[in-house]
């Protein structure tokens, strides 16, 4: 046992410590793995920066999903 020796809470403490170690390892991996998709969403030329809606072919200059002004209209190429 990691903690507690023969105390009744030793097994529970061991399980909690293993769980916390796994979470501490996986959370940064999730954040790092998620970051490229966030960059792609906010810096893609044909996506609304507010909601991520695809503005390809939109000539109005306004996102039809959220109403955000997108500056120059996203013209289809």
- Per residue in 33-43, pLDDT tens? 776 666 665 56
How does pLDDT run across 7-39, given as a tens digit for each residue? 566 778 888 999 999 999 999 888 777 766 666
The rounded percent of the chain whose pLDDT value lies above 90 is 18
Sign of CA dihedral 14, 16, 34, 31: negative
How does pLDDT run across 54-77, given as a tens digit for each residue? 888 888 889 998 998 887 654 544
Query: How far from chain centre, in Å, is Cα 14?
Result: 30
């Amino acid at each position: 046992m990691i903690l507690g020796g023969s105390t009744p809470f030793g097994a529970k403490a061991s399980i909690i410590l293993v769980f916390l170690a796994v979470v501490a390892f996986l959370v940064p991996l999730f954040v790092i793995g998620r970051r490229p998709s966030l960059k792609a969403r906010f810096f893609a030329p044909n996506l609304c920066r507010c909601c991520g809606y695809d503005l390809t072919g939109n000539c109005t200059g306004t996102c039809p999903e959220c109403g955000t002004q997108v500056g120059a209209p996203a013209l289809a190429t």
